[in-house]
Amino acid sequence: MSENISVGVVGCGYWGPNLIRNFDRLTGARVAAICDLTKERLEHVANLYSDAIPYTDFDKMLAEADLDAVVVATPVKTHHSLAKAALMAGKHTLVEKPMASSTAECDELISLAEARGLTLMVGNTFLYSEPIHRIKEIIEMGDIGEVLYINSQRLNLGLFQKDINVAWDLAPHDISIILHLLGETPDVVNCQGNAHITPGIEDITNMSLSFGTHRFASIQSSWLEPRKVRQMTIVGSRRMVVYDDLEPREKIRVYDVRVERPPHYDTFGEFHYSYHYGDCYIPYIQQEEPLQVLCKHFLHCVETGEKPVSCGRQGAELVRILEACSESLASGGAPVQFAAAPGVVSPFEGGGLKVVGSE
């Protein structure tokens, strides 16, 4: 492999330019080619990164550009075909979330990568976020006690998608964070929602994840909110954590509050819940763009062959949950029993996921 890892990025629309910018700034990487079907958009990005050869034909880019790795930042319905072509061409591949449109497609990509000894990584950006890393540490230290439930809101006005609903668009962020923090996959998935703007494509959903340890998580996703909200509350038996990603600096607050039930009582008059109100503290968070950490980690895994934090199998588990959500939506919110794929250990079990190569 060359001294600088040669990267090609397909998709120059909403998110692709952010990936191009980060790879372009990293030592050890070179954005050698970019690809998009829209010529005007391609020309605009090519003017910003003159060293990258522009292509409108992805197969031509794979054949002509001397690439070590390919980054797929296109609509979800194209993830599988583009990632498959990249892996077949012997390229390490980073795919934006969700990894594909079905678990069958994910499994095929995983098999291809493993058979060819290639890195397959999913762009779950928040797993490379310092606030999430800090919250994980707080939980593992036992500072908040036993995690009882997690409540998450990801709301805004738009961007409306035409091929996927709001759960597939926004909830992957929250699902990946929740599974990372809890270190396990759910047993039961419920999801309700409505399509107000585009028939058949839900623009607001409420998702519930139930875990075998009697823990619970809820996720609200919406394209129909007047204000942007990115909040998550982790309720523990001793303390509670509020994570607000829109806060510029004080993203995490730990509240020393809880409710306690008396261990025993003889009469109703003796039965009183005890509410504890203590201090709030704000942990220090090192400011670093999560996407840059993700890109560094991808390069590290390409160079060393190490398994990425957001590996292909983790990406497949997330898609399995989204498929269960779609099944629940179609049946009016009925619970869907969710089990890990036979013979496959959940990539979230055991927790302790550590980002390597992010220094």
Name 290's Cβ contacts closer than 8 Å, sequence gap at least 6: 125, 126, 128, 129, 130
Tokens of 118: 């290639």
Name 71's Cβ contacts closer than 8 Å, sequence gap at least 6: 7, 8, 9, 10, 11, 16, 19, 23, 93, 94
Q: Per-residue confidence at 274, pLDDT binned at 50, 70, 90?
A: low
- More confidently predicted of 287 and 150: 150
Rounded Cα–Cα distance for residues 55 and 62 (Å): 10
Q: Per-residue confidence at 347, pLDDT binned at 50, 70, 90?
A: low
- Percent of the chain at pLDDT > 70 equals 89
Tokens of 81: 């075909």
Rounded Cα–Cα distance for residues 69 and 118 (Å): 9
- More confidently predicted of 168 and 350: 168
pLDDT at residue 286, rounded to an integer: 87
Tens of pLDDT along 299-314?
999 999 999 999 999 9
pLDDT over 60 (residue 219): yes
Tokens of 163: 């091929």
Segments in the chain forming alpha helices (H) = 16-25, 39-48, 58-64, 76-88, 103-116, 130-140, 166-182, 290-304, 312-330
Rounded Cα–Cα distance for residues 314 and 123 (Å): 11
pLDDT over 70 (residue 22): yes
When computed from its CA atoms, the radius of gyration of the chain, rounded to whole angstroms, is 22
Q: In Å, how far are 195, 323, 336 from 189, measured between CA atoms?
A: 20, 10, 5
Q: Give the SS3 label for residue 25.
A: helix
pLDDT at residue 344, rounded to an integer: 42
Which residue has 């340890």 as its token pair? Answer: 213
Q: Per-residue confidence at 279, pLDDT binned at 50, 70, 90?
A: confident
- Percent of the chain at pLDDT > 90 equals 83
Rounded Cα–Cα distance for residues 232 and 187 (Å): 21
pLDDT at residue 146, rounded to an integer: 95
Rounded Cα–Cα distance for residues 12 and 34 (Å): 8
Segments in 121-244 forming alpha helices (H) = 130-140, 166-182
pTM for the full predicted model: 0.90
Q: Mean of the per-residue pLDDT values for the chain?
A: 91
Minimum mean pLDDT among 7-21, 174-188, 272-286: which range?
272-286
Q: Per-residue confidence at 354, pLDDT binned at 50, 70, 90?
A: very low
Rounded Cα–Cα distance for residues 355 and 359 (Å): 9
Region 322-328: mean pLDDT is 97
pLDDT at residue 290, rounded to an integer: 96
Name 68's Cβ contacts closer than 8 Å, sequence gap at least 6: 1, 2, 5, 6, 7, 91, 92, 302
Rounded to 5°, angle at Cα 323 from 83 and 292:
45
Ordered structural domains, the chain, with CATH? 127-281 (3.30.360.10)
Q: Per-residue confidence at 341, pLDDT binned at 50, 70, 90?
A: low
Rounded Cα–Cα distance for residues 137 and 192 (Å): 32
Tens of pLDDT along 57-96?
999 999 999 999 999 999 999 999 999 999 999 999 999 9
Is the CA virtual torsion 248, 243, 183, 175 positive or negative? negative
Give the amino acid at 245.
Answer: D
Tens of pLDDT along 234-243?
999 999 999 9
